[in-house]
Structure 1
Amino acid sequence: MTILDAAANSRTFKRAWGDLIAGFGKRELWLHLGWQDIKQRYRRSVLGPFWITIATGTTAVAMGGLYSVLFKLELSEHLPYVTLGLIVWNLINASILEGADVFIANEGLIKQLPTPLSVHVYRLVWRQMILFAHNIIIFVIIAIIFPKPWQWTDLTFIPALALIALNCVWVALCFGILATRYRDIGPLLASLVQLLFFMTPIIWNESTLRSQGAGDWARIVELNPLLHYLDIVRAPLLGAEQELRHWVVVVSLTIIGWIFAALAMRQYRARVPYWV
């Protein structure tokens, strides 16, 4: 078999799908590595990853309190809204920015350890889910202080969170491959994500825009896909009415995103070890 034949055989959807399946099958490896990332990052720290929880909680209380006064909103409603927005945003933000760096950061393992490429992505998403679990404690405390009536339909946040995790995988795969080939993608994404933070209803809400007479901006915000990802998790946890359109958009983007991820894995998976 020639080198060209070998390269052609590696660019198949079967190989790409096989990498994803084989990588998921190595759960013990990426679960252990993800947990070790947390421990190593906060080595010799007394509070460990709870420092992130404290920082997120402080930011949520400060922004929730300030903007509830500026927008003349009830603190009992706006503080949980902002808190959940920041917690879910941190998960999405890290998946995009750290996802772009996922293969570059694991250069040594990729070159020395013969494992499926997807292992490093699963490790990243697992690590972020651990941090999400730490941060959600903030919302639990706020929910106790400002209790809301709960319904069984509120449990839809569980499949919503699973859907976001599934999206985090394809996002990290696509941006990871792209940023490994073109190193300017990382800084570009950092600037874009920062802009999206202010364009996403995290510290403000759509009703505030409309009440201020900014209805045109509210329609523009609808084009921001992150709005829909936030709402499918935040709405049920706040006991708010859930809108079908958010689920339709997220499911549609999930399908489209995985199609791009499959194409990227098929075409460029074998080249990543050379690019890093």
Structure 2
Amino acid sequence: MAVPALARPGADEPSDRDATAAEKLHGASPRSWRRAFADINAAIAQRELWGHLGWQDIKQRYRRSTIGPLWITISMAVTAAALGGLYSQLFGQPIGTFMPYVTVGFMIWYFISACVLEGTETFIANEGLIRFLPAPLMIYVFRTVWRQILFFAHNVVVYVIVLAIFFGQLDEPYRMINRLSDGTMGVLHPGLSWTALLAIPAFVVIVANGLWVTLLFGIIATRFRDIPPVVSSFMQLFFTMTPIIWTPDLLRGGEPGSAKAIVEQLAKLNPFYHFIEIFRAPLVGQVQSWTHWAVVGVITVVGWTLALIALRNYRSRVAYWV
């Protein structure tokens, strides 16, 4: 008696030779660039669907709550106020400039870390829809990132309030307390100006990176279920290593080869540091470095290349892996 296909070992992971009949009839292999880009284009065309799903995710989370999504803003405000006030005293920083620094740092960190953490669960959390709804795979990626954009929009309110309170101090130029290696005092904070608008393209670039992170990590984590807890552990480590509640100038001035100098070099190798700086620096009146943009640009190109390869090769298998 012939053994049913689903009962055979490994039947839940179809081989390339066992591609779906529908894809064969359309004259394209499931592993084709044409089908990969068609999936992206179809998802973009159905933006009303993933836009509605993302908004419903937020409404569902705060269902039967009196103030609803405003809890996002309140939570962010309490965290920024508590840690900003505490660490400004510990590090001897003026609260008028340190509070906006911490607030913007938390704003963008929450967005980045959520794209990474929830990105690993993107396809797993949408198992039911993937199995029974014939929709492009990228819809679930757009849904996840759009939901984080909505969260981010709520947190922007906190920055506006902090800016209104500390605008006078934030707009006033000041110099570094620590001396540089040549003995001079370098200007760290020239004050707010029109360059604050650079935060807009910076956020667009960060969103673009959030998309490839969600897509790539989502595919890998769907196949290997140990990935989400591993990523979660590493994100906690990166939070402490990223200058969110501390400033990079605290690491400067170490002798070559000293522990302080080594930690400074490790901090510069942290990719999250560069993403946060391209967004935060213009909003708190600091100088943007082209180095941050260069590193972010390289990561964006490499990340999207890997994500598109993963989409091309494994798009048709995700439904079997969930």
- Same fold by TM-score, threshold 0.5 exceeded? yes
Helix, strand or coil: the match of 2:252?
helix
Helix, strand or coil: the match of 1:9?
coil
Which residue, out of 86, 89, 94, partners 2:114?
Answer: 94
Bigger radius of gyration: 2
Q: What amino acid maps onto 1:72 in structure 2?
A: G
In the other structure, the counterpart of 1:46 is 66
Query: How much has 1:21 moved relative to structure 2?
Result: 1.2
User: What do you get for the CA RMSD once the two structures are aligned?
Assistant: 1.5
In the other structure, the counterpart of 1:103 is 123
Q: What amino acid maps onto 2:262 in structure 1?
A: D
Helix, strand or coil: the match of 2:225?
coil
The answer to whether structure 1 residue 198 and structure 2 residue 213 are counterparts is no
Matches within 5 A, 1:118-197: 118-147=138-167, 148-149=170-171, 150-197=192-239
- Describe the shift of the 1:211–1:78 C-alpha distance in structure 2 as closer, same or farther (beyond 3 A): farther
Q: What amino acid maps onto 2:152 in structure 1?
A: F
Query: How much has 1:212 moved relative to structure 2?
Result: 7.7
Q: What amino acid maps onto 1:232 in structure 2?
A: I
Which residue, out of 256, 262, 266, partners 2:308?
Answer: 262
Q: Which has the higher contact order (CA 8 A, sep 6+)?
A: 1
Helix, strand or coil: the match of 2:65?
coil
Taking structure 1 as the reference length, the TM-score comes to: 0.96
Query: How much has 1:151 moved relative to structure 2?
Result: 2.0
Distance, in Å, in 2 between the alignment partners of 1:271 and 1:216 is: 43
Distance, in Å, in 2 between the alignment partners of 1:212 and 1:77 is: 25
Query: How much has 1:48 moved relative to structure 2?
Result: 1.2
Q: What amino acid maps onto 2:206 in structure 1?
A: I
Q: What amino acid maps onto 2:286 in structure 1?
A: A
Deviates more, 1:18-27 or 1:168-177: 18-27
Distance, in Å, in 2 between the alignment partners of 1:219 and 1:36 is: 43
Query: How much has 1:209 moved relative to structure 2?
Result: 2.0
Q: What amino acid maps onto 2:37 in structure 1?
A: W
In the other structure, the counterpart of 1:208 is 250
The answer for unaligned runs of 5 or more in structure 1 is none
Distance, in Å, in 2 between the alignment partners of 1:131 and 1:173 is: 19
Distance, in Å, in 1 between the alignment partners of 2:269 and 2:146 is: 29
Helix, strand or coil: the match of 1:10?
coil
Deviates more, 1:58-67 or 1:165-174: 58-67
Distance, in Å, in 2 between the alignment partners of 1:55 and 1:142 is: 14
Which residue, out of 234, 253, 256, partners 2:299?
Answer: 253
The answer for unaligned runs of 5 or more in structure 2 is 1-16, 172-191
Distance, in Å, in 2 between the alignment partners of 1:3 and 1:75 is: 63
How many residue pairs get matched?
A: 275
The answer to whether structure 1 residue 35 and structure 2 residue 55 are counterparts is yes
Relative to total residues, which structure has the larger helix share, 1 or 2?
1
Q: What amino acid maps onto 1:218 in structure 2?
A: E
Taking structure 2 as the reference length, the TM-score comes to: 0.83
Identity score, percent:
50
In the other structure, the counterpart of 2:281 is 235
Q: What amino acid maps onto 2:40 in structure 1?
A: L
Distance, in Å, in 2 between the alignment partners of 1:75 and 1:107 is: 47
- Describe the shift of the 1:180–1:231 C-alpha distance in structure 2 as closer, same or farther (beyond 3 A): same
Distance, in Å, in 2 between the alignment partners of 1:207 and 1:215 is: 12
